[in-house]
Structures are given as C-alpha cells and as structure tokens.
Amino acid sequence: MNNLMKIGAHISAAGGVANAPQNAHTIGSEVFQFFSRSPRGGKAPVLTTKQIKNFKANMKEFKQAECYLHAPYYINLASINNRIYYGSISVLREELERGSKLGVKYLMFHPGSAKDLGLKPAIKKVAQGIKEIFKNYTGTTQLLIEISAGSGQIIGDTFEEIASILKLLPVKIRKQVGICYDTAHAFESGYDIRTAQALKKTLQEFDKKIGLAKLKLIHVNDSKTDLGSHVDRHEHLGKGKIGLEGFRAIINEPKLKNINLILETPTTQGVLKDIKLLKKLRAKK
C-alpha cells in the first residue's frame, strides 16, 4: 500500500475512555473518533491517571494509529447568551486539555449559529471565542472546524465562511486550527464529489479559499439528501446521493493520500460494512 490513509469510525467510549481503542479494533478501525464526555450536556467525567495510562496502553495493544475527539453538540461560539458563549469556550478548552492528556490528535467542533447576530458579527465572535480557547494553551491536541450542512443559519457551511474565521485569528493560533471535511455536510452545502472530476474541482476550490494544508481529517458519510439540500442526513456509503464513485474518488485522489477517514454512518452493522468497503477500495489502488 503506497498511501498512508487510515480508515476508522466514530465509536463508543461507554464505560470509560480506556475502552475506546478496543471498541475501535473490534470493528476493524485503524483510527477512531469518540466523545470524552456526554455530547448533550453535563460535567465531563474525571480522567484519572490510571484511565489515561490504560487508554494509551490500549492504543498500542489494539494497534490504533491515531484518535480524535468530537466536541459536544451544544457548542455555539456565536451566541449572545453569555452562559452559552463562555460555556462553549470553557468546554472546548477542557476538551483540548483532556485530549492532550490522552494523546488525541484532533478535536473537531461546529462553530455554532449566526441567528443571534447575523453572519459577519457572528464570524467575528467565533474567531474571538477561538482566541479565548487558546489563551495560554500548551497542549498538543489541535482544534478542527468541521464544515456544516448549513441548515438554518449555521456557521461554516461554505469555504468562504471558514476562511473568514481563520483570517481573523492571529498567526500563532491559526497554525493550531485545521479543517475536518465532512462529505455529507459539504455535499448538502453544495460541494459536489460524486465523480473524480467533481472531487478535483471541489478540492481546487477548497485550496483556493482555505488551503489544502489546512485539511486534516475527512468524515466519510453518504447523504440521504440532495446536493445543496442543506439538510444533514448521513447515509451508508453507496446508498445515498453521493454514491460509491465519490468515495472511490476520495480513496484514489493523490492529494488526499495522507488524510485519514472517519465514518459516522447510521448503524453499527452498516459501519462494519462501510469499513470493509473502504479497505477494499484502498486495496485496489
């Protein structure tokens, strides 16, 4: 295999984070993504020294190359409600610190909604929030902005919006912020990848607006809804509107050969099939 692309999925860390690497291995993951806390709210469980040690030992034992955290769903760095705004800053900073203790490479998050402020002021507020998150941060986990499907006034559904956030960050912080490209979200926002040609065109646009060096991870999900629908519905690979050719194009695209793939498709049995499918496509390169 002449590329370094690794394949995995979002998995459960039920019963404690130390279980996550084994859960990942069981379904055939080479890398994985997980929540270190409830995605819906509440305090994060304490990470004990023993848990951290066991997690790292299990990463080696179960041959997981890398792991990633997903931030909780309630994050909104554009909220005018200070409890939500400063709560979001606090949780993202906590997750970066927790990730650093565990040796997690990336933490991905959705910036939030512009409904309180309108787009331009909301983007400024998001950038200000990210600056706050990184104040005196010395950890190793990097923050990734995940492209969104754009329903309502969600921020970050276009390359331009993401680029606007990055441009407002000081250079030192900008270096620590990358992008997670979700195939379903981007497709639902109007970025076509259904053929190798369409993928190349979308990547050219991404490179022009943001820079391909910023692309750190890909969520591989098919879409139940049409191109430009702005409705976020994940589907198993080849069963949705993107189709198998799009995922074959991703596997075969030289510019993506070092970018790892994480599945967030709907069912456990379906994820098993999707992992096998991606590995099969990779083997045929």
- Annotated active-site positions, please? 40, 70, 73, 110, 146, 182, 185, 219, 232, 234, 264
Residue 245 makes CB contacts below 8 A (sequence gap 6+) with 194, 195, 196
CB 263 within 8 A of CB 8: yes
Closest CA to 271 of 21, 7, 63, 64: 7
CB 6 within 8 A of CB 261: yes
Closest CA to 134 of 107, 104, 103: 107
Residue 129 makes CB contacts below 8 A (sequence gap 6+) with 77, 78, 85, 88, 89
Please, what sign has the CA dihedral across residues 274, 276, 281, 285?
Answer: positive
Where residue 87 falls (left for φ over 0; alpha for ψ -120 to 50; beta otherwise) is alpha
176: tokens are: 């620590």
- Helices 244-252 and 196-209 sit at what angle, rounded to 10 degrees? 60
CB 64 within 8 A of CB 25: yes
